[in-house]
Structure 1
Amino acid sequence: MSAHIGDFGRPHGTVPPRAALHTDAPSIDLSGAWRFRLSPTATGLDEFWAEGYDDSGWDALPVPSSWPMHGYGQPAYTNITYPFPVDPPHVPTENPTGDHRRVIEVPADWAGQRVLLRFEGVDSYGRVWVNGAEVGATQGSRLTHEFDVTAHLRAGEANVVAVRVHQWSAGSYLEDQDMWWLPGIFRAVTLEVRPSGGIDDVFVHAGFADGRGTLRVDAPDGALLSVPSLGLRDVAVNTDHVLDRVEPWTPETPTLYEAAVSTGAETVSLRIGFRTVAVVDGLLTANGQRIFFRGVNRHEFHPDLGRVVPLDAVRAELELMKTHHVNAIRTSHYPPDAALLDLCDELGFWVVVENDFETHGFEQNGWRNNPTDDPRWTDALVDRMRRTVQRDKNHPSVVMWSLGNEAGVGRNLASMAAVARELDPDRPLHYEGDRSNAHTDVHSRMYATPDEVAEIGAAPDGLPFVLCEYAHAMGNGPGLLSTYRELFERYPRCQGGFIWEWLDHGIRRGNHFAYGGDFGEPVHDGNFVIDGLVFPDRTPSPGLTELGAIFAPVRLVPDGDALTVRNGYDHRDLTGVTLDWTVAVDGTTVAAGSQAAPDLAPGQSAPLPALHADVPAGRGEAWLTVTARLAGATVGAGQVRLRSAADRPRRSGRRLVGDTLGPAVFRGGDLVALGGLALRGPRLDVWRAPIDNDVFGPDPVADRWRKAGLHRLTHRVVDAADGADGYVVTSRVAPAGSDRALLATYTWTADDDAVTLALHVEPTGDWDVPLPRAGVSMAIPGRLGAVEWFGGGPGEAYVDSSVAALVGRYESTVDALQTPYVRPQENGNRTKVRQASFTDPTGAGLELIGHPTFELTARRWSTAELTSARHTDDLRPGRDVHLHLDYGHHGLGTAACGPPPAPEAWLHAEPFDLVVTLRAR
């Protein structure tokens, strides 16, 4: 076997690629236990494929599987860098090689029939033998390969299928796709009869225009087509049909028609969706309407199984996407398991199917010897594109083909584009890396700033513009989502995009999820693989909740003291949508009702009529909340404040007596007790455990914070004195080695049962860096674990990620306030809190009242402990609850891979005031 293993990435011995079909032809699913042996190299191995070979000493391994997830070797993660020397097409001699054997019984009635052995996915190179005869090899890990094994099978007898899988091959240079390197036979393997006179391939062409459908099904001559619900029964294939009364397919109305193509030997079942995709006057359209991608990038990954994702998990994640109003998927960066596209047809998603191609690591060497511009790789790349198009061409959900991702430019792009257009001239092409758009039909960018998006959108002409990646969802974030949505709605040619990405690729390891470097990899990219809207177990993150609120199709926008409703659907009216409303005073509901949404076509808006009774007289803060629902699912929500709260009285009237001010006890200027409740603080605090968007990017703000010493501030009490304005403590807060400082003035006033802190902060010196946060921290007894608050909720929210936070009264626990980001970081903030209380099981505790509001965080570990943790189980609850009462936070942004927070979300070092009343309950 050659040291490069794979002949410049070309498979051999395969039959021509064809569509994935649901057929009644006999087949055998080879999923299950195979005999398995792992060797550290690809050389010096025995002839394990021989029929009489004794594999009794081997282990059993499930197929499909990624073998490192079953204890054979270790996973490894890199984003860009190849984990082997860049020496194409060669790979190291140290090349983990997995030998697989399976004995199968082939039915006697298969005798004389053509049989194909089909592999849906082998990472990265699989040599295949049947009964000792080599039949070929796969190249293209996430592509389907079929081998004609008719001459080698023995019907009615036991047969040996043997597969040698090499982790590294020439094809590995084409698969540098920002994910775990996980070898194995990770998708289904089947034996399938191809009956004489059967149907090897079908191509459905189903268009929609002017209220009518057009249908042509390309299939072998003599086959017959039936679509019973459209009145077609046993009609000729390869013939054009014009059909009235056809409903179009869209993600909002995913109408499918059951069809069958039959011969005397075989029947193939299909689901047909009618839609026409085209670029018209600079817009990417479907059925004549502009497409708006509210999309996500999706890798195939499972925290326990690696590249193997069970079908029930796939359906569940698609249903979760629909719940959060995602309408599009880019299959980054390869064709998915074919079953995904069946579900996308059924549930309703636009899909951009990407070729199994990325060579990002060549960028680190100036793109020298990049396969994209090397004719020795042309055949392999054209083969990959051909397999991509041929397998998935019958899905109405698929609206574009993508040539690949982050592979530079070169002559092979033209070759791939040519074969895609030859096979399927009706779908546009995408490839972000070619800024000339010589081979594509859309202009695509990654992580363009809002200003760049606006500039592109305002240009007088050009191609449709799609952000194939934006809003990097790594850790706490992303911010800026509402900014991008507004740009997509303002500029028609800016047709949305795809969040990077859907899923955190954490591997379950004990009580935490592991990331790059946790398996001893000498080269890795750390937690950059943890960048999804859902956690590895597919639990939604706050980022997904925010995205769902922003993508919600029914928009309820404040307009004075009323709300305007806007139909944000692209293809349907608001029939069936109900508007449930409540009026609440200080978070307590005083009136409620429901009514049908107004009759609005897509894009139309209308003011809502009065939905509520008069607000009861009083001084409380009153809010109208409207929730739009369709078939029980929430499709939008909005609020408007009907009455502002009266100013809350500050506590006053008590003078300092010794160390006591009303119910409060001070020591050295610090509050240490309140009504018998032991406390520590509050004192000025500006540090937060950096989020990933603070840590990564070309100019990480966390590096600037550390250089400025914001994580190691010291406090010096300048003065503490009782006066006419209250007990006033002044403090200078500064890092060692710098003359910049924050001058904090704490003014305490009190009455019999509460104290009020009025904090004023003045920065001095040269502050050329924003603050992470601005407020105070304090510690309270750990038994106060129940939390109730009136403010934004129910979930986490920050200045540039708060659309989902509605004002109301909420309950939780300190533990439930935490967001378990895979790499621990700042989390759990509740925004615009008016009032909060922390209580023990008896109801005793601490009440906090804002004047008017504060940001609230509570956790059972300190910020220092949160900052130093690498995994969630590094965080051990202590004896205290640590509170942060903040004036503000620096924004989240998406700078881990994209722009920083918008200017208005920066927390500049400027004077600020924070006023909070504390009362022991």
Structure 2
Amino acid sequence: MTETRKPAYLEDFAPSSGARAPRARFDGDAPALDLNGTWRFRMLPGAPAGTDGFERPDYDDSGWEGLPVPSHWQLHGHGAPAYTNVVYPFPVDPPHVPDENPTGDHRREFDLPEDWPEGAAALRFDGVDSCFRVWLNGTELGFSTGSRLAAEFDAGHLLRPGRNVLAVRVHQWSAASYLEDQDMWWLSGIFRDVTLTALPERGIGDVAVHASYDHEDGTGTLRVDVAGSAEALVSVPELGLVDAPAGVEHAVGPVEPWTAEEPRLYDAVVAAPGERARLRVGFRTVEVSGGLLRVNGRPLLLRGVNRHEWHPDHGRAVSRETMREDVLLMKRHNVNAVRTSHYPPHPDFLDLCDELGLWVVDECDLETHGFELVGWRGNPSDDPRWREAYLDRIARTVGRDRNHPSVVLWSLGNESGTGRNLEAMAAWVREHDPSRPVHYEGDRDSSYADVYSRMYPPHDEVDAIGRREEEATDDPGADAHRRGLPFVLCEYAHAMGAGPGGLEEYQELFTRHERLQGGFVWEWIDHGIRRREPDGAEWFAYGGDFGETVHDGNFVADGLLLPDRTPGPGLHAYKKTIEPVRVVPDPAAGTVGIANTWDFRDTSGLVLRWRAEEEGVPFAEGVLDMPVLGPGADADVPLPGMPEPPGGGEAWLTVSVHLGADQPWAPAGHELAWGQARLATGRHGAAGTAGAPGPVGTAAPAAGTEGALLRLGPGVLDTGTGALLSVGGLPVGTPAVDLWRAPTDNDQARHGVSVEVPWRAAGLDRITSRRLSAGRDGDAYVVRDRLAPAGADFGMLVAYRWTAEGGRLLLDVDAEAEGEWPCPLPRFGVRMDVPSSLGGVEWFGRGPGEAYRDVDQAARVGRFASSVDGLQTPYLRPQENGNRADVRWAVLRAEDGTGLRIDGDPVFGLSARRWDTAALDAARHPHELVPDGRIHLHLDLEHHGIGSASCGPGVLPAHRLAAGRHRLRLGFSPAAPTP
């Protein structure tokens, strides 16, 4: 029998061989060669022990394909992506890996510039997944693991004038894969930059910047340690520091401190005899004192997001332009912090955080979550054989990123249980960089962490933690230690599909309790992979779409951004929740309350605008005097006298805060915050309550049908069936009570408590109707039905009362639940259909975007216009979406100007689609939804809240929709022609 052989390093606990000690990336003037570009590539099904000589310079690779570097080979037609959240896609048998181990061989020829200096050089790989072995000109340099960590090899002794050949073998699976189970697509290859850099004699081998700030006297202390040259000098001309010796503390100042709100950077130069380097220095001091996480003496309130690196076409091979787009979007949506889940990002991202201003929790490239499914048996975190690999990962994280002032916490990793290796990592950090506290969520007692961190606790538990009264453990000493620490939610508010709900209630707790220092919404972007159908239809794939036998479906689509970086409704809600300035207009008092919620900056440079609108049409506006308020301060600003709305309609005052001048992250005029208050109720009100009901109308026989037609104002009903036939001659479907919605990801609750399961068990997706009666009741026509699902003894009695008044057809729906309902209702409203030509939508209510009762904070009252297609939110898995809240009136209009107007008494929720709820419920992807020739309207009284139960708490009690007494009143009329 022939023994199957594979390279020993694939199943080695050692993290690397031949790699140089980790060091920071810096902007030096030593010659460098960018080795990105098109490489020669071949795919092997396994990991052979031999190489067949592909590393030799004279190897003939003419039959190989071209592959861009950086990239993932699965996104270029070699193998397929696979997504899992927790489970390893291979047997849990550490350190062993499958024999079926896709392996990519890469070759790159490059010419060394004629002026390249002789001597040492470093070959740097910024990211290779998951294990790679490298040769230069036929000689092996070594191997390395740690996919999202930089690795360097000594290369100078092998370089030749002219042509050089670099060969790299990359394996999808290695022992290191057990440490990289990070809730993301399994993608392989050289996905970050490859660079060759000369190492001049007496140059800068490494540099470490220590720049602290004394908030009491406003001065800074600077020490720059330089490895490789004892003669290095440091200059910061702006501070008067010129040619000062490295390795020595220098008092400088006064200095302007670095904060995420005002990211002040100073240009510095480090000069060694053989090399000069440019640095950007930010002065700030991070500490945990008095039970709080503080920067420059002030407690932080983190309004953060978790960010995986992602691009829908390139995976984790993300360009600097895309990184900048992410940071700009974060800043423009009031986000002030990012946790680099669950690995250090590309170093360019941290440069942008330094420049534009974000607090960063820099997380080590570590997660062993799959061991939880086997009871944490064999978890590497407590196995001494893995100690070197754990320490190597944290050393490479800190070594690369320590010079970034944006980094305020080191995170040891994510969901890796607990154990001695994590303790050793924390000890290593404290020894080598005591200037930053340590974060780790997986140790519930926080015995080796400096902050107490949790994922997805419900609001009542967060409230108890804020009071330092969280549930006790068996160790009083551990309890006392933990309760003395600041609290951070490293993950909360799971942004999967519609939602997340509960954001404002969390933020209120953060404001109430100083111990609660904010948190990080999960997560920034949906990891959809762009696909195109032959007809050009574009969609985004998720787990299972590539034939994976083990996968976690669309759980990879849980971001505030859609994959193409379109902000989702959840991001708009989050922006409103975490506004840096609170605005509370009070027209009755003649003031607007302004509160500065920034931690460091005042409100100077901001502009305060007001605008009065009648039914969404502006009739007065102006600018208020913006007070200069320090952090945490508030004031009341006088409002001018408000004119009466010219038409006597419903009027609203909007007061908003804007940037007064261009900022690096947004232009002048960008809106930071807003608040609204009603000015006048106006003439708009009850549909059908403005006067006595009009006459019922006359009945006339309908030829060829049973019964008769009944005209009520602009409406025509069939008295034989009780059906509504038309409004103003427009054929429409009969409004019918609807209790069902296509469950959202948070309704389904893959990792929470599902409400979809009891909904379907109760049969709410298959309600049947039984007619009790239909006929005239005075001036009204009344239809009475009983709704109930098969097999159930509970139901709902519904009365539809039709009348006419003032040129409108009025509908009063009165429903009452009977029996014991086992669950809340998904919704209460009516559904009806109208011709597909009515594709334009205008409404007066809240908008412009989607809103549900616990995710409605970003929706302001106004007049808005869209199309039926534009009302949809294309979540990667189709689900309930697109509701517009508190609509007073809405008009659906055809291109010729004809249409249907719907009035609320006083308001209703509006959604309109070109497919029905059953199709929405059945579809797996948006491109599978096919228009069926009608527009399906939902006119809702209420919805059950959204919550965050896809991975977190469910809907708060205030937002649950219990079955009970429900009354919805609407008016229908032909739409007035457009001007």
State the TM-score bracket (shorter-chain normalisation).
over 0.9
Q: Report the alpha carbon displacement of residue 257 of structure 1 after superposing the two structures with TM.
A: 0.5
1:547 aligns with 574
Cα separation, 1, equivalents of 2:441 and 2:11: 28
Determine whether 1:564 maps to 2:593: yes
1:611 to partner: Cα distance: 3.6
- SS of corresponding position for 1:151: helix
Q: Output one character per residue of 1:597-655: Cα deviation in whole Å (capped at 9) or x when no partner.
A: 12211111222211453334764222110111013211100001122234335072222
Query: Which residue of the partner structure matches residue 317 of structure 1?
Result: 326
8 Å Cα contact 1:583/1:612 also seen in 2: no
Aligned partner of 1:659 in structure 2 is 709
Q: CA offset at residue 113 of structure 1?
A: 1.1
* Structure 1 stretch displaced more, 410-419 or 78-87: 410-419
- Preserved contact between residue 592 and residue 612 of structure 1 (Cα < 8 Å): no
User: Which residue in the other structure is 1:151 paired with?
Assistant: 157
Q: For 2:138 and 2:846, locate their aligned partners in 1 and report how far apart those are by CA, in whole Å.
A: 67
Contact 1:390–1:423 (Cα < 8 Å) also in 2: no
The one of 735, 738, 741 equivalent to 1:682 is 735
Residues 232-290 of structure 1, C-alpha deviation per residue, up to 9 Å, x if partnerless? 12111112222223111111100100111011211111000111000110000000011
Work out whether residues 4 and 91 of structure 1, in 8 Å CA contact, stay in contact via their aligned partners in 2: no
Consecutive unaligned residues of structure 1, counting only runs of 5 or more, are: none
**Alpha-carbon distance in 2 for matches of 1:779, 1:371:** 58
| Matches of 1:720 and 1:166, distance apart in 2 | 72
Counterpart pick for 1:49 among 51, 55, 60 = 55
Distance in structure 2 (CA, Å) of the matches to 1:832 and 1:140 = 51
Q: 2:812 aligns with which of 746, 758, 766?
A: 758
Whole-angstrom distance in 1 between the partners of 2:449 and 2:270: 33
What is the identity, as a one-letter code, of the residue corresponding to 2:652? W
Q: Is the 8 A contact 1:839 1:846 kept in 2?
A: yes
1:805 aligns with 2:814: no
Q: What displacement does 1:110 show?
A: 3.5
- The 1:19–1:754 alpha-carbon spacing in structure 2 relative to 1, beyond 3 Å, is same
Shift of residue 108, structure 1, vs aligned partner: 4.2
| Pairs within 5 Å for 1:881-892 | 881-892=935-946
Alignment of 1:460-859 (within 5 A): 461-510=483-532, 511-559=538-586, 561=588, 562-616=591-645, 619-630=648-659, 631-646=668-683, 647-648=685-686, 650=688, 652-655=693-696, 657=699, 658-662=708-712, 663-667=714-718, 668-696=721-749, 697-724=751-778, 726-751=780-805, 753-859=807-913
Could you tell me the percent identity over the aligned residues?
A: 55
Q: What is the CA deviation profile of residues 322-379 of structure 1, one whole-angstrom value per residue up to 9, with x for unaligned ones?
A: 0001000100000110110000000000000001000000000010110000000000
Q: Name the residue aligned to 2:923.
A: 869
Separation (CA, whole Å) in 1 of partners of 2:641 and 2:848: 23
**Which range is displaced more, 130-139 or 107-116?**
107-116
Q: Which amino acid aligns with 1:846?
A: L
Matches within 5 A, 1:379-394: 379-394=388-403
The residue number in structure 2 matching 1:85 is 91
1:234 is paired with a residue of what secondary structure?
strand
**Greater shift after overlay, 881-890 or 202-211?**
202-211
1:769-800 per-residue CA deviation (whole Å, 9 max, x = no partner) reads: 01111000000111111111110011111100
Partner Cα distance (1:184, 1:520) in 2: 20
SS at match of 1:301: coil
Asked whether the 8 Å contact 2:687–2:969 carries over to 1, the reply is no
What is the TM-score of this pair, normalised by structure 1? 0.98
CA contact (8 A) 1:6 1:139 kept: no
What TM-score do the two structures reach when normalised by structure 2? 0.93
Are 2:11 and 2:96, in contact at CA under 8 Å, matched by a contact in 1?
no
Aligned ranges 1:274-423 → 2 under 5 Å: 274-423=283-432
Which residue, 34, 38, 61 being the options, matches 1:33?
38
**What is the CA-CA distance between 1:558 and the residue it aligns to?**
4.5
CA distance in 2, matches of 1:383, 1:876: 53
CA distance in 2, matches of 1:414, 1:317: 33
State the partner residue of 1:217.
Answer: 224
Moved more, 241-250 or 40-49: 40-49
Question: Aligned partners of 1:744, 1:817: CA distance in 2, in Å?
Answer: 29
C-alpha separation between the residues in 1 aligned to 2:842 and 2:593?
A: 31
Separation in 1, partners of 2:883, 2:364: 41
1:692, CA displacement in angstroms? 0.2
- Cα deviation, residue 200, structure 1: 0.9
Shifted more, 334-343 versus 555-564: the winner is 555-564
Which shifted more, 720-729 or 159-168? 720-729
1:698, distance to aligned residue in structure 2 (A): 3.6
2:881 maps to amino acid:
N
CA distance in 2, matches of 1:674, 1:115: 80
Q: Which residue of 1 aligns with 2:207?
A: 202
Q: 1:489 to 1:751 in 2, by over 3 A?
A: closer
Shift of 1:46: 1.9
Which residue of the partner structure matches residue 436 of structure 1?
445
Residue 710 of structure 2 aligns to which amino acid in structure 1? Answer: T
Residue in 1 that maps onto 2:535: none
Q: Helix, strand or coil for the counterpart of 1:415?
A: helix
Q: State the distance in 2 between where 1:731 and 1:27 align.
A: 79
Q: Distance in 1 between matches of 2:619 and 2:784?
A: 45
1:101 has 2:87 as partner? no
Give distance in 1, aligned partners of 2:446 and 2:300.
20
Deviation at 1:298, TM superposition (A): 0.4
Alignment-mate amino acid for residue 672 of structure 1:
L
| SS of residue matched to 1:729 | strand
Paired residue type of 2:486? P
Report deviation, 1:47: 2.5
Q: CA deviation at 1:895?
A: 0.3
User: SS of 2:176's equivalent?
Assistant: helix
Aligned counterpart in structure 2 of residue 193 of structure 1, from 190, 195, 198: 198
Distance in 2 (alpha carbons) for counterparts of 1:871 and 1:805: 27
- Contact 1:51–1:132, Cα closer than 8 Å, also in 2: yes
Bigger shift: residues 383-392 or 615-624: 615-624
C-alpha distance in 1 between matches for 2:125 and 2:555: 31
1:113 aligned counterpart, secondary structure: coil
> 1:725 offset after TM fit, Å?
5.3
Matched-pair contact (CA < 8 Å) for 1:9–1:140: no
Which residue is equivalent to 1:895? 949
Cα deviation, residue 27, structure 1: 0.8
Q: CA RMSD in A?
A: 1.4
Q: Given the superposition, is the C-alpha separation of residues 60 and 617 from structure 1 closer, same or farther in structure 2, using an over 3 Å criterion?
A: closer
Residue 18 in 1 paired to residue 40 in 2? no
- Mapped contact 2:752–2:952 kept (Cα < 8 A): no
Inter-partner Cα distance in structure 1 for 2:34 and 2:376? 42
Cα distance in 2, alignment partners of residues 603 and 853 from structure 1: 37
Asked whether the 8 Å contact 2:687–2:971 carries over to 1, the reply is no
The Cα offsets for residues 6-48 of structure 1, whole Å up to 9 and x where unpaired, read as 4115111011111111111001110001110001100265221
CA apart distance, 1:507: 0.3
Deviation larger for 456-465 or 260-269:
456-465
